[in-house]
């Protein structure tokens, strides 16, 4: 009996050999990732590359079994490799503590793998890997878990649905005015504390964040201006951090002065109950008997005095931390900041206490720290058992792919319904209207110093490829060109965030017989192995002129907007010439009351998006 005797017997020699010769990429070394790495090693995979940007946190240890207490704050990918290698010395393991979206992991690199496994916790990276695998023609095994539920999907270009063939749940959105002026639910106060108060005091303040796209809508302008002034005044107070009366200043500003101003806007409170400001001195007096260890009790719903004590205590803790950080940072470096992290007790205490104080002001139900953590962090429950099952199912699907038995590969769901805990479904054919996989692909070489958007739009798209007037261009920043957005034309592509190995999507918007979407991979042609951009050469050149098929004729127009869940919230760079008609004039009352937490498709957090009145978006989650 040898080490591999069980394997050979069960899998047969041919498949065993294929497995041994294959090279696989594992994206994510979290809950599913740790299990997958173990299973891949013990299934005999010859070469495994593992990539993860994250570091290990205490809250990972209940399921990510390759990590121990002493590994906290170290790279997940590197530790996973080190620990797992000991158990299977013969396998070639390669680890990267890096972002899968980095340019070095380009389409050519993806193409070197036989199979890619997605073990990710966020929509954005999932979409990126999906796209790269489609472009590289590599089969992808996509997976995710939520509590006791999990799912596994096999994706192969041309044969199956891709990750984006179906619409994904759109993140919850809140109008800025609801958060800043007229909260009516606990979540509004929690978002206020997490995404306004905390960053204004300890992070990057609103004005420096380009994600904010201030409304120019006349009706809102006055209030937006007020809110801007409020934020400025808070920033002035930030200067006195560390002084004796810092807590009192902050408190008076946000829980008294600002509230009194709001209260003064009588129109707002005609049929709403007006907010009641809080008084620092009164609470200070009452709080004498409350010990600040109350913050450790996360199940109890604190009363206002307890909120007050935790507010002061956590503000103090955060101030000291920021001070320590500043002392360790030299003047030349970027000024340090503190950001919300659901597993960072200091920021969580501050958000919980501040949110509850604001709730008291607006007569909203307070919540326990445990619940606030869930709502602010968009926590998705995660346990070892679900990860073990999901990872096992991933490997089973990978075996089908390696056997070229895609016909028997499945979409698998872990759930308890009827008599089955594990249900499977046949893989579906690609959605012909999918904005991601039903696209044509091409490559363009650009000279980054000279290439302008106009070069691409006029020389390549109109003259070489025959596009008409109506089409739009977008990249990861958002829409960079459409017929109403011509401001960007003279700008260089570099200015518009176009980098080496990035994508630009061209959407043909002609009413008559439009082309399928075109996805252009950009290559910055200063690399030695590619045609050099000389003076004679045009600043933007197409690798080859290809024929772009037309969209299939359907009864309904292609659901581009809905299918790509983020489209509706994509920020727009530059100014639009004409505003969309019929948009709401203010964002006060159009958002649905949100049931506690959105179900995500991973064991991390999906972003909450603040939806501004004119459709701009502020991404507020980590």
Partner 1 sequence: MTDSFPSALTGPSSKERKYDRQLRLWAASGQQALEESRVLLVNSDGPIDKQKTTVSGVVGVETLKNLVLPGIGGFTIVDPASVTESDLGVNFFLEEQSLGKSRAEETCRLLKELNPDVEGTFSTTPIAELLQDTKFLPAFRLVLVSGPVKCSSLDLLCNASRELGIPVLYTHSVGFYSTFSLQLPAEFPIVETHPDPETTQDLRLANPWPELLEAGARVRDLDTLDDHQHGHVPYVLLLLHYLEQWKETHEGNVPSNYKEKTEFREMVRAGARTNNPEGGEENFDEAVAAVLKSLNPFSLRSNIREVFEMEECQKLRADSASFWVIASAVNAFYQMHRVLPLPGSLPDMKAQSADYISLQNIYKSKARKDLEEVTETVRRIEGSFGAKRSPIPEKEIEVFCKNAAHIKLIRGRNIPRIDRDVTVQSSVRMALGIPESLAPISIAFQILDAVVDQLQETGSTVASIDDNETWDKQTQRIIGVLKAEDPEYVDEEVEEQIKNATQELRRTKAGELHNISSLTGGLVAQEALKVLTRQYVPLDNTCIFDGVKSRSEMHRL
* Whether 222 contacts 212, CB under 8 Å: no
Helix (H, G, I), strand (E, B) or coil at 515: strand
Residues labelled catalytic: 177
Kindly identify the residues of this chain, within the stretch 157-196, that bind Zn ion according to CB under 5 A.
162, 164-165
Closer residue to partner 1 in complex, CB, 299/534: 299
288 near partner 1 (CB under 8 A):
no
Closer residue to partner 1 in complex, CB, 38/131: 38
Give which of 586, 610, 583 is closest to 188, Cα–Cα. Answer: 610
Is position 434 annotated in a ligand binding site?
yes
CB of 134 to Zn ion, least distance (A): 8
Closer residue to partner 1 in complex, CB, 392/432: 392
Tell me the residue ranges of DSSP E strands in 13-166: 23-27, 47-51, 92-96, 115-118, 140-146, 149-155
Is position 19 annotated in a ligand binding site?
no
Give which of 282, 280, 277, 234 is closest to 256, Cα–Cα. Answer: 277
Percent of the chain as helix, strand, coil, to the nearest 5: 40, 15, 45
Integer CA distances (angstroms), 426 to 134, 407, 423, in order: 20, 8, 10
CB of 103 to Zn ion, least distance (A): 24
321 near partner 1 (CB under 8 A):
yes
Helix (H, G, I), strand (E, B) or coil at 278: coil
Is position 228 annotated in a ligand binding site?
no
519 near partner 1 (CB under 8 A):
no
Q: Helix 345-361 vs helix 304-328: angle between axes, to the nearest 10 degrees?
A: 140
Helix (H, G, I), strand (E, B) or coil at 48: strand
Count Cα neighbours of 598 within 13 Å in the Cβ-side half-sphere: 22
**Partner from partner 1, Zn ion, none binding residue 437, C-beta < 5-8 Å depending on class:** Zn ion
480 near Zn ion (CB under 5 A):
no
Kindly identify the residues of this chain, within the stretch 348-367, that bind partner 1 according to CB under 8 A.
349, 362-365
Q: How far is CA 324 from the centre of its chain?
A: 30
Tell me the two tokens of residue 335: 């000024």
* Cα gap 76→119, rounded to integer Å: 13
379 near partner 1 (CB under 8 A):
yes
372 near Zn ion (CB under 5 A):
no
Is position 307 annotated in a ligand binding site?
no
148 near partner 1 (CB under 8 A):
yes
* Cα gap 524→566, rounded to integer Å: 27
DSSP one-letter code for 422: E
Closer residue to partner 1 in complex, CB, 27/361: 361
Kindly identify the residues of this chain, within the stretch 59-78, that bind partner 1 according to CB under 8 A.
59, 61-63, 65, 68-69
210 near partner 1 (CB under 8 A):
no
Is position 133 annotated in a ligand binding site?
no
614 near partner 1 (CB under 8 A):
no
55 near partner 1 (CB under 8 A):
no
146 near partner 1 (CB under 8 A):
no
Instruction: State the Rg of the chain over Cα.
Output: 27
CB of 592 to partner 1, least distance (A): 7
Given the DSSP bridges, would you call strands 440-446 and 540-542 parallel, antiparallel or unpaired? antiparallel
Of 126-134, 215-223, 343-351, 528-536, which part binds partner 1 (CB under 8 A)?
A: 343-351
Integer CA distances (angstroms), 301 to 218, 369, 377, in order: 41, 7, 18
Of 121-129, 377-385, 465-473, 535-543, which part binds partner 1 (CB under 8 A)?
A: 377-385
β-sheet bridge partners, residue 93: 48
303 near partner 1 (CB under 8 A):
no
* Cα gap 319→35, rounded to integer Å: 40
185 near partner 1 (CB under 8 A):
yes
* Cα gap 192→529, rounded to integer Å: 51
CB of 96 to partner 1, least distance (A): 23
387 near partner 1 (CB under 8 A):
yes
Of 97-105, 163-171, 256-264, 288-296, which part binds partner 1 (CB under 8 A)?
A: 288-296
Q: Pick from 87, 111, 339, 530: which binds partner 1 (CB under 8 A)?
A: 87
* Whether 42 contacts 88, CB under 8 Å: yes
For tokens 């957090």, the residue is 605
Is position 34 annotated in a ligand binding site?
no
385 near partner 1 (CB under 8 A):
yes
CB of 165 to Zn ion, least distance (A): 3
99 near partner 1 (CB under 8 A):
no
* Cα gap 413→200, rounded to integer Å: 43
Helix (H, G, I), strand (E, B) or coil at 2: coil
Closer residue to partner 1 in complex, CB, 387/475: 387
Q: Pick from 6, 108, 221, 557: which binds partner 1 (CB under 8 A)?
A: 6
Integer CA distances (angstroms), 230 to 206, 250, 256, 265, in order: 11, 12, 12, 15
Closer residue to partner 1 in complex, CB, 183/430: 183
Tell me the two tokens of residue 620: 């507020």
CB of 145 to partner 1, least distance (A): 11
* Whether 169 contacts 599, CB under 8 Å: yes
* Whether 549 contacts 440, CB under 8 Å: yes
Closer residue to partner 1 in complex, CB, 278/389: 389
437 near Zn ion (CB under 5 A):
yes
98 near partner 1 (CB under 8 A):
no
Closer residue to partner 1 in complex, CB, 373/569: 373
Kindly identify the residues of this chain, within the stretch 259-278, that bind partner 1 according to CB under 8 A.
270-273
Q: Pick from 78, 315, 412, 434: which binds Zn ion (CB under 5 A)?
A: 434
Closer residue to partner 1 in complex, CB, 169/291: 291
* Whether 127 contacts 607, CB under 8 Å: no
End-to-end CA distance of the chain: 50
* Cα gap 250→258, rounded to integer Å: 11
Given the DSSP bridges, would you call strands 440-446 and 518-524 parallel, antiparallel or unpaired? parallel
**Partner from Zn ion, partner 1, none binding residue 39, C-beta < 5-8 Å depending on class:** partner 1
Closer residue to partner 1 in complex, CB, 95/187: 187
* Cα gap 462→543, rounded to integer Å: 16
CB of 413 to partner 1, least distance (A): 10
Would you list which residues are annotated within the binding site for ATP?
Answer: 28-33, 52, 60-63, 76, 121-126
Would you list which residues are annotated within the binding site for Zn(2+)?
Answer: 162, 165, 434, 437
Would you list which residues are annotated within the binding site?
Answer: 28-33, 52, 60-63, 76, 121-126, 162, 165, 434, 437
Residues that bind Zn ion (CB under 5 A): 162, 164-165, 434, 436-437
């Amino acid at each position: 009996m040898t080490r591999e005797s069980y394997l050979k017997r069960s899998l047969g020699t041919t498949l065993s050999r294929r497995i041994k010769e294959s090279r696989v990429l594992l994206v994510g070394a979290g809950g599913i990732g740790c299990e997958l790495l173990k299973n891949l090693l013990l299934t005999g995979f010859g070469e495994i590359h593992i990539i993860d940007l994250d570091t290990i946190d205490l809250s990972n240890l209940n399921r990510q079994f390759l990590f121990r207490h002493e590994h906290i704050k170290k790279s997940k990918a590197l530790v996973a490799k080190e620990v797992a290698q000991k158990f299977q010395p013969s396998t070639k393991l390669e680890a990267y503590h890096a972002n899968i979206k980095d340019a070095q992991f380009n389409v050519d690199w993806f193409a070197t793998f036989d199979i890619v496994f997605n073990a990710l916790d966020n929509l954005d990276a999932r979409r990126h890997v999906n796209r790269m695998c489609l472009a590289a023609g590599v089969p992808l095994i996509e997976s995710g878990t939520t509590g006791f539920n999990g799912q596994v999907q096999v994706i192969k270009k041309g044969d199956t649905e891709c990750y984006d063939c179906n619409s994904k749940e759109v993140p919850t959105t809140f109008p800025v005015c609801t958060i800043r002026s007229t909260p009516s639910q606990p979540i509004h106060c929690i978002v206020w504390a997490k995404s306004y108060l905390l960053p204004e005091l300890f992070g990057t303040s609103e004005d420096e964040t380009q994600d904010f796209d201030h409304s120019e809508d006349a009706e809102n302008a006055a209030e937006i201006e007020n809110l801007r002034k409020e934020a400025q005044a808070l920033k002035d107070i930030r200067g006195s951090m560390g002084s004796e009366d810092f807590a009192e200043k902050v408190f008076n500003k946000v829980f008294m002065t600002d509230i009194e101003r709001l209260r003064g806007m009588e129109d707002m409170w005609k049929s709403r109950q007006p907010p009641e400001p809080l008084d620092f001195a009164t609470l200070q007096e009452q709080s004498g008997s409350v010990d600040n260890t109350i913050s450790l009790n996360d199940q109890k719903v604190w009363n206002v005095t307890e909120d007050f004590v935790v507010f002061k205590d956590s503000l103090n803790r955060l101030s000291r931390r920021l001070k320590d950080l500043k002392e360790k940072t030299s003047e030349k470096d970027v000024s340090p900041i503190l950001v919300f992290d659901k597993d960072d007790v200091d920021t969580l205490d501050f958000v919980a206490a501040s949110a509850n104080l604001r709730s008291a002001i607006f007569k909203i139900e307070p919540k326990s720290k445990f619940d606030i953590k869930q709502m602010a962090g968009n926590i998705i429950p995660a346990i070892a058992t679900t990860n073990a099952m999901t990872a096992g199912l991933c490997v089973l699907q990978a075996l089908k792919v390696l056997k070229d038995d895609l016909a028997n590969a499945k979409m698998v769901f872990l759930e308890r319904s009827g008599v089955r805990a594990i249900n499977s479904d046949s893989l579906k054919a690609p959605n012909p209207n999918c904005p991601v996989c039903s696209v044509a692909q091409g490559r363009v070489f650009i000279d980054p110093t000279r290439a302008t958007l106009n070069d691409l739009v006029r020389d390549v798209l109109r003259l070489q490829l025959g596009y008409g007037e109506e089409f739009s261009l977008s990249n990861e920043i958002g829409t960079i060109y459409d017929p109403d957005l011509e401001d960007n034309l003279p700008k260089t592509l570099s200015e518009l965030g176009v980098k080496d190995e990035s994508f630009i999507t061209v959407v043909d918007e002609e009413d008559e017989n439009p082309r399928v979407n075109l996805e252009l991979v950009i290559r910055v042609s200063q690399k030695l192995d590619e045609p050099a951009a000389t003076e004679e050469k045009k600043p933007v050149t197409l690798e080859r002129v290809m024929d772009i098929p037309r969209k299939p004729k359907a009864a309904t127009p292609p659901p581009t907007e809905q299918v790509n869940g983020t489209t509706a919230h994509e920020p727009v760079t530059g100014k639009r010439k004409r505003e969309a008609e019929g948009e709401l004039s203010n964002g006060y009352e159009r958002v649905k009351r949100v049931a506690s937490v959105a179900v995500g498709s991973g064991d991390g957090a999906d972003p909450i998006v603040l939806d501004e009145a004119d459709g701009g978006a502020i991404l507020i989650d980590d």
